């Protein structure tokens, strides 16, 4: 206990450790892990969720942690259960294609809040096409709402639309600050994401570019965003909207999923590659 008191949490890298063991048990029970599952955990921290995961019959657990100060704690957990493999590196820079001995089937994690959106994009891009079909994530409530919000909600986002295109996403439970140490200043949520179709869509340059250009400025209409980001004339933009039975004043957040699939077939949006500016919009 004395060792834990001496540890100085670095909240700049999202070190709000989960301390609610009943919540950890809820998460692992919901994940329904079997002896075939290879699980990836990001930001294990003090290991509360890690130990709960190891109480299930999972096959292997890869736990990626950026803070070397936690090496002794996590390696101690691994020394008592050979299924656990701690990896000390930056989760955003890790080589997920070749850096793991086995392909993860599920991701169960209390994600660092400051890199939540780019991490989820990374998982959808690199792991979903390789067989990862389930994520159970602790997120800041605001970020969770961006992932699960349906059409006509202001929280609607490119990431949420992509998650819907690949399967489903839902908030299972809201979590108070008291579940963590140190306590964050915001509410959190447990989010379940299922990958059931279109496993490669997050890597589709046309899909990504369409979403990025449509959400460039949220308060502007699709027509104005397309004119500014695609070099499209207003007349061309209005013709596209009309072809898909969309109002001239339509905004990106208003469109249901099927309209995004339709728009992705428009020649004006077909691209071979997306640029860094578009990625910044997707990850915002």
Q: For residue 221, which of 249, 184, 200, 188 has the smallest C-alpha distance?
A: 249
Of 77, 135, 76, whose CA–CA distance to 106 is shortest? 135
121, 160 Cβ separation under 8 angstroms: no
Which of 169, 165, 170, 168 has the alpha carbon at shortest distance from 198? 165
The dihedral formed by the CA atoms of 249, 253, 258 and 259, expressed in degrees to the nearest 10: 30
Q: What φ, ψ does residue 94 adopt, rounded to 5°?
A: -70, 145
Residue 18 labeled ligand binder: yes
Name the helix (H) or strand (E) containing 222. helix 222-230
| Edge-to-edge strands, sheet with 60-65 | 84-88, 60-65, 38-42, 106-110, 134-140, 188-195, 167-175
Q: Does 43 carry a binding-site annotation?
A: yes
Q: Any known ligand binding at 101?
A: no
Strand partners of residue 64: 42, 87
Residue 126 to residue 21: CA distance in whole angstroms: 31
For residue 124, give the DSSP letter.
Answer: I
Q: Is 46 annotated as a binding residue?
A: no
Annotated binding site for S-adenosyl-L-methionine: 16, 18, 43, 65, 90, 110
Binding residues: 16, 18, 43, 65, 90, 110
């Amino acid at each position: 206990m004395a060792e834990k008191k001496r540890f100085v949490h670095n909240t700049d890298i999202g070190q709000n450790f989960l301390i609610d063991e009943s919540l950890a048990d809820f998460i692992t029970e919901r994940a329904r892990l079997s002896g075939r599952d290879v699980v990836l955990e990001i930001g294990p921290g003090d290991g509360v969720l890690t130990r709960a995961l190891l109480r299930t019959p999972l096959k292997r657990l890869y736990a990626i942690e950026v803070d070397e100060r936690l090496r002794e704690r996590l390696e101690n957990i691994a020394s008592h259960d050979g299924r656990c493999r701690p990896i000390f590196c930056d989760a955003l820079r890790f080589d997920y294609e070749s850096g793991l001995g086995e392909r993860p089937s599920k991701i169960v994690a209390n994600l660092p809040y400051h890199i939540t959106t780019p991490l989820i994009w990374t998982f959808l891009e690199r792991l979903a096409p390789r067989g990862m079909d389930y994520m159970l994530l602790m997120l800041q409530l605001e970020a969770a709402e961006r992932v699960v919000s349906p059409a006509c909600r202001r929280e609607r986002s490119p990431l949420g639309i992509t998650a819907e295109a690949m399967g489903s996403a839902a908030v299972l439970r809201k979590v108070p600050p008291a579940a963590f140490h140190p306590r964050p200043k915001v509410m959190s949520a447990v989010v379940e994401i299922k990958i059931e179709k279109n496993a490669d869509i997050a890597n589709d340059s046309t899909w990504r570019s369409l979403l990025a250009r449509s959400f460039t400025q949220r308060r502007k209409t699709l027509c104005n965003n397309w004119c500014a980001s695609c070099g499209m004339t207003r007349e061309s933009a209005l013709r596209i909207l009309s072809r898909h039975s969309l109002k001239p004043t339509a905004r990106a957040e208003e469109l249901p999923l099927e309209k995004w699939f339709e728009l992705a077939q428009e020649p004006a949006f077909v691209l071979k590659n997306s640029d860094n500016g578009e990625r910044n919009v997707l990850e915002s």
